[in-house]
């Protein structure tokens, strides 16, 4: 017999990790080079950080080039961990881009006979606000600056404002900002085999501002895949220090055919301390996935699994114990 159940799990997550440094350099012809130590390991951070530079400077995205990854030449950062890159790296990048913008606007203001405050940039052009016929191209300003002063190079850093936890009172502020999420899992449990099939997961995540919504959805789906494996299949077996299942033949991870329907809900609540209001979404989606699935299994068959993964053997054992105790 197959029974269905629904489980809910909520989480909060503090963005942590080391500070970040970024360099924005204006090149001949109006291109801009972003130099960062932040590493794109597949989460799309090169694109995200490029978007921030383009938005801050008012230039097309394809005008931004990224140099990253070499710790010998790039600025020191905290690494691609702790879901920190968009928040920490993004703040440093936006500050560096803002400094470059200030220098560029200073020259553009002379050309346009206006104050820096009266200028705005869009699509590679610098305008006098409210006067669409008064403009100069970003590229022309760049060439002028290169001829007069050499390249513009702007550097900025960001380090979160935190405090240590007081061991006596338990009070402190270890994270500058937090993200929140709720996930709901629908499952089907076969009471004869103990096999669990996850049918659907609805994931609502507060990410601040979604700089790139498609990437946010991808990160949520990836986190759910990780949590799915944690809940149902993944288990490192060790005997006297030796790993008994060292390959994917024995260590079972979910594949694409194991993935349930995923419905993402992006909750955008502006974070004042984040770049353009953004926070993070990297690791949080994996956190409530397993608890939601375990709660759904309990809702379906009344068996509470407390030792992950929830294998068919454990579920059948729980069903047997439940029957004996009824």
What are the start-end ranges of the E strands in 27-152? Answer: 32-36, 64-68, 119-122, 125-128, 131-137
- Whether 2-13+178-325 and 20-156 share one fold: the answer is yes
Predicted local distance difference test score (pLDDT) of residue 69 = 76
Strand 238-239 relative to strand 196-206, pairing: unpaired
Q: pLDDT tens digits, residue range 281-313?
A: 989 999 999 999 999 999 999 999 999 999 999
pLDDT at 163: 76
Instruction: Round to whole Å and give the CA distance between 234 and 152.
Output: 51
Q: What fold is seen in the domain 2-13+178-325?
A: Aldehyde Oxidoreductase; domain 4 (3.30.365)
pTM of the model: 0.89
As a whole number of Å, the end-to-end CA separation of the chain is: 19
What is the reported pLDDT for 151?
Answer: 81
**182, two tokens:** 């709720």
Among residues 149, 283, 313, 321, the one annotated as catalytic is 283
283 is catalytic: yes
| DSSP one-letter code for 199 | E
Question: In this predicted structure, what is the pLDDT of residue 70?
Answer: 75
pLDDT at 9: 98
Ranges of residues in the chain with a pLDDT under 70 are: none
pLDDT at res. 4: 98
**pLDDT value at position 162?**
79
Cβ contact 194:264 at 8 Å? no
Give the whole-angstrom CA distance, residue 136 versus residue 116. Answer: 13
| pLDDT on residue 15 | 87
What is the residue extent of each domain of the chain?
2-13+178-325, 20-156
User: 20-156 is classed in which CATH architecture?
Assistant: 2-Layer Sandwich (3.30)
């Amino acid at each position: 017999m197959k029974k269905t159940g629904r489980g809910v799990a909520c989480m909060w997550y503090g963005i942590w990790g080391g500070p970040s440094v970024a360099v924005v350099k204006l090149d001949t012809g109006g291109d801009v080079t972003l130099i960062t130590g932040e590493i794109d390991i597949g989460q799309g951070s090169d694109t995200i950080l490029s978007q921030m530079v383009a938005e801050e400077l008012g230039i097309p995205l394809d005008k931004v080039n990224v140099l990253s990854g070499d710790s010998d030449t790039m600025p020191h950062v905290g690494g691609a961990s702790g879901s920190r890159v968009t928040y920490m790296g993004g703040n440093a990048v936006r500050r560096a881009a803002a400094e470059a913008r200030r220098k560029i606007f200073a020259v553009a203001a002379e050309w346009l006979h206006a104050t820096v405050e009266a200028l705005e940039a869009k699509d590679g052009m610098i305008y006098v606000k409210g006067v669409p016929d008064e403009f100069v191209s970003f590229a022309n300003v760049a060439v002028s600056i290169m001829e007069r002063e050499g390249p513009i190079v702007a550097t900025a850093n960001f380090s979160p404002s935190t405090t240590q936890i007081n061991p006596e009172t338990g009070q402190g502020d270890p994270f500058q900002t937090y993200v929140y999420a709720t996930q709901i899992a629908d499952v089907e449990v076969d009471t004869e085999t103990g096999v669990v099939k996850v049918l659907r997961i609805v994931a609502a995540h507060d990410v601040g501002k979604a700089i790139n919504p498609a990437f946010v959805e991808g990160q949520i789906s990836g986190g759910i895949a990780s949590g799915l494996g944690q809940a149902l299949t993944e288990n490192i077996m060790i005997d006297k220090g030796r790993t008994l299942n060292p390959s994917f033949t024995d260590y079972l991870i979910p594949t694409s055919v194991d993935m349930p329907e995923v419905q993402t809900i992006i909750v955008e609540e502006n974070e004042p301390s984040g770049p353009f209001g953004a926070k993070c979404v990297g690791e949080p989606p994996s956190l409530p996935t397993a608890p939601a699935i375990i709660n759904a299994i309990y809702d379906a068959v009344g068996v509470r699994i407390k030792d992950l993964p929830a294998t068919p053997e454990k579920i059948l054992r729980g069903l047997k114990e439940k029957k004996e105790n009824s």
